[in-house]
Amino acid sequence: MKAVVTGGAGFIGSHLVEELIKKGIEVHVLDNMTAGNLSNVHPLAVIHTEDICSIEAKRIILKEKPDVVFHLAAQADVARSINDPKYDADVNINGTINMLEACREITLKKFIFASTSGVYGDLQKGLISEEDLTIPVSYYGLSKLTAESYIRLFNHLYGIPYTILRYGNVYGPRQTAKGEGGVVAVFLERLKKGMPLNIHGNGEQTRDFIYVKDIVQANIASIEGGNQHTVQISTTKSTSINQLLEILERIHPSKIEALHTSTRIGDIKHSCLDNKKARQILNWQPQFNILDGITETYNYSSKN
């Protein structure tokens, strides 16, 4: 089997590339290195330093004829999407269309798309399901939701098989200290520098934090499962930013200073996703609780 991973030099993508190669799959990475890092990429992967919006990226898909395309490349910074909605749309919408146009011309087993809980906006609901309203409050969430619609329509018009995965807040080794869901990486970077942790608002906002290794396994399960489905990949557990701070205080050897700052535009107050559908149709469930995942991430951050 041959796979293309867009964004394969990035945080989630590089972990996925490693696991695919372990399974004996030939992996091609498409990444313009805006957020990716060559040092993250497994040495057996074939690297193509191209932008997903480019003609050359499309040509690579046509030449390599992968069985599976994992489309993870994205503009994933909520703040940047608010400040530059055109760039956000160019990458997340037009880049996805470019990849889909290429996939139209090959025989593809599956197009697997990395979406986000940000498509729901701030629903103020205890547990969100895939059937709930999608009302994004950032251009990032809107661009991801629009990309999802293009994927479904390409399936309807041209028969491209797909699975859309809506992630909770992903964290883990190699995550950069910026962008969507990057609070764990931001906190760990500031701890390394001996700086106080900035908490936006009162710290009671909650997220469904999910470890990157669990996300990888959901992607791999989607090669065979979740055909023409939109599936939430999450822990179904809410953790507040204040609780995250408490976990870090348990594993960090010295006292942590925290400063409360103003709430950010486009931020969601509460987000927790039901993963029942993923358990049923992907036969997947998370293996890492937040203490174990944060501890692994903390230890990686301390050494690197």
Among 120, 139, 140, 298, the one annotated catalytic: 140
pLDDT in tens, 153-183: 999 999 999 999 999 999 999 998 865 458 9
Helix (H, G, I), strand (E, B) or coil at 144: helix
Where do the domains of the chain lie? 2-171+211-234+273-286
Confidence bin at 261 (pLDDT 50/70/90): confident
* Per-residue model confidence (pLDDT) at position 33: 95
139 in catalytic set: no
Q: Which CATH architecture has domain 2-171+211-234+273-286?
A: 3-Layer(aba) Sandwich (3.40)
Stated as kind and residue range, the H or E segment containing 96 is: helix 95-104
Confidence bin at 141 (pLDDT 50/70/90): very high
* Per-residue model confidence (pLDDT) at position 179: 53
pLDDT in tens, 192-214: 999 999 998 889 999 999 999 99
Neighbours of 108 (CB within 10 A): 22
Mean pLDDT, the chain, whole residue set: 94
* Per-residue model confidence (pLDDT) at position 120: 95
Phi, psi dihedrals of residue 130, rounded to the nearest 5°: -65, -20
For residue 227, give the nearest of 275, 160, 166 by alpha carbon. Answer: 160
* Per-residue model confidence (pLDDT) at position 171: 96
Indicate if the pLDDT at residue 77 is higher than 90.
no
* Per-residue model confidence (pLDDT) at position 260: 85
Using CA atoms, how far apart are residues 245 and 264, in angstroms rounded to an integer?
19
Query: Where do runs of H (alpha helix) occur along 164-289?
Result: 183-192, 212-221, 241-251, 276-281
Contact assessment for residue 178 and residue 190, using Cβ atoms and an 8 Å cutoff: no
Confidence bin at 42 (pLDDT 50/70/90): very high
DSSP symbol at 128: B
Burial of 138 (0-12, 13-18, 19+ CB in 10 A): buried
Per-range mean pLDDT, top range of 175-189, 231-245, 265-279: 231-245
Burial of 226 (0-12, 13-18, 19+ CB in 10 A): buried
Indicate if the pLDDT at residue 93 is higher than 90.
yes
Contact assessment for residue 99 and residue 6, using Cβ atoms and an 8 Å cutoff: yes
Side-chain-facing half-sphere of 35: CA atoms under 13 Å: 23
